[in-house]
Amino acid sequence: MSPATGRTRTGLRAYFWEEAAADWHKRSREGRPGFAEHITRKLRHLRDGINGEAGTVAAMRDAHRVRVTDTQRDTQDLPDLYIAEHAALTLFGRHQQAAAEPAHQPGTGLGTACRHLQHAATLAENAVQRRLIAAATALDHHELVQHLYRLVPLLAQAGIGLDYTRLMYDLTAWESPAQDRVLRSWGLQYTQPAAAGDDTDAAPYWDRFAPDGADSGVQLAALRSGTAREAGAVPAMWPFYRSRMSSALRDKGALTRDLIAEHTALSLFGQHQQSRSRTMHVPGNSPGTAARLLLAKNGSGQEALERRVGALLTSVDTGELAMHLRGLVPLLSRADIGLDYDLLRTALRTWDDPKQPDVQSRFRERWDRDFRIQPKASTS
């Protein structure tokens, strides 16, 4: 079944929301605004299903396009896609009820719709973001749908549509391994810059961080929540990403090297900066430099620290590099020694990049030299 068209490979009819949108546009071209009577009647039936379980609302059956057998219906062993279609239909019915134009807008993902709503609505600051994050952190399919029931009337009031075919597939994936991709697409769509080339607030978080900021503790906790999680799959971190990415990649929730590197650097910074009164982003401090400063400050444990640095320098890939950095950062934090997070992000992005095969050895040589270098003796 194609997420782009909503049509199945076997040529079944388009989904009801697609039929409704096509009917509206056809009648509009003919000078007869609004929906045909049979569409209006089905829309009323969809709203009847808001409190009903999939397969139990007889009036909705004509609107379903996903086929189920009588046995599946009788035993309530319904396909996940059918259950997701039921939820999408009831959401569409609620959305269309308050909308002046078709609520189904192909290509508009939930994150994109919420970004438009953020700019269009007269809600309290960050209210839209809180609603989107509440939906994105739903524990199960049912809770997610309940959050969406509260969100779609706001979209309708602002004249903002939603791609219901795409939403149906997102709902299908919610309790599956594909959930992280859905979350990433919502977050990247929502945080996409309003205009190409807009550099407003484009600096990475560690460059903008103020240790004495009123929300600094909450922000750092959000960053730590992303530790060892897949990039883009932690809604609390969405506001902090600044990775450049095309609209097409954002829309499909692409997992790029830039995003992975920034996510890892942000989670490390959140761990490093915790309870520190000055910024732990120190330009020029490589892991080798920081380890040397740590050894000088502690005055002992050279052998153990050398093993730790050696393990870090021989990391095979970015995953192993991140693991060793997560072990080093708490030691540096306790000793109040910072790191260059711009440098770390670059290393994490390029460490095992097959297009840059010499990068890893250059980092290793530099960081090893930074660790081994002896301070100049005083000439007094």
Nearest to 233 by CA among 274, 173, 154, 273: 173
Q: Provide the pLDDT for residue 196.
A: 47
Nearest to 87 by CA among 57, 131, 129, 115: 57
Distance of CA 133 to the CA centre of its chain: 10
Q: Please give the CATH topology (third level) of the domain spanning 16-176.
A: Peroxidase; domain 1 (1.10.520)
Q: Provide the pLDDT for residue 10.
A: 45
Q: Provide the pLDDT for residue 375.
A: 60
Do the two domains 16-176 and 205-372 of this chain adopt the same fold? yes
If phi over 0 gives left and psi between -120 and 50 gives alpha, with beta otherwise, what is residue 278?
beta
Radius of gyration of the chain (CA): 26
Element (H, E) at 377: none
pTM: 0.88
Distance of CA 184 to the CA centre of its chain: 3
Question: Which of helix, strand or coil describes residue 281?
Answer: strand
Q: Provide the pLDDT for residue 194.
A: 55
Please report the sign of the dihedral spanned by the C-alpha atoms of residue 112, residue 133, residue 219, residue 315: negative
What are the helix (H) ranges across 78-109? 80-97
Residue with tokens 């309708």: 156
Q: Provide the pLDDT for residue 52.
A: 85
Nearest to 91 by CA among 31, 39, 154: 154
Query: Domain residue spans in the chain?
Result: 16-176, 205-372
Arch. (CATH architecture) of 205-372: Orthogonal Bundle (1.10)
Q: Provide the pLDDT for residue 12.
A: 64
Per-residue pLDDT of the chain (380 residues; tens, 9 = 90+): 344 333 443 456 899 999 999 999 999 999 998 999 999 999 999 988 888 889 888 889 999 999 988 888 878 889 999 999 999 999 999 999 978 899 999 999 999 999 999 988 777 778 999 999 999 999 999 999 999 999 999 999 999 999 999 999 999 999 999 999 999 999 999 998 755 455 556 899 999 999 998 899 999 999 999 999 999 999 999 999 999 899 999 999 999 999 999 999 999 999 999 999 999 999 999 999 999 999 999 876 889 999 999 999 999 999 999 999 999 999 999 999 999 999 999 999 999 999 999 999 999 999 999 999 876 544 43
If phi over 0 gives left and psi between -120 and 50 gives alpha, with beta otherwise, what is residue 315?
beta
- Please say whether the beta carbons of 339 and 272 come within 8 A: yes
